[in-house]
Amino acid sequence: MLGTAHACLFSRPHADKRASDPGGTSAWPNPIEGVFNKLKTLVRQAKARSRELLDLAIGSAFQAITAADARGFFSRAGYLLSQ
C-alpha cells in the first residue's frame, strides 16, 4: 500500500474534471491510450497487406511518436508536467 507521500507524487488534479465528463472517456485516463490511438491510426493509414509490410508500418509508427506527442499524452491524462 502506498503511503501519503507516494500518493501525492501520483495524484492527477485534472482527473476530477474528466470523471464528470459523460463523453465516454475513462475516469482515470491513461497516457498509453493516446499512444495506442496514434499507433493504430498510423498503421491503418499504411494499409499494409502482408506481414513484412505490417512489421515495417508498426516500426515506422513507433518512430513517428515524438517527445511532444508523449508530453501531450501525459498532459491529456491529467499529469502536471514541468518543462
| CA R_g for the chain | 16
Is 13:78 a contact under the CB 8 Å cutoff? yes
pTM equals 0.64
Over residues 18-75, the pLDDT tens digits come to 455 555 556 678 999 999 999 999 999 999 999 999 999 999 999 999 999 999 999 9
Alpha-carbon gap, residue 31 to 80, rounded angstroms? 12
Angle (nearest 5°) at CA 35 between 30 and 40: 125
Answer with the residue of higher pLDDT: 65 or 3: 65
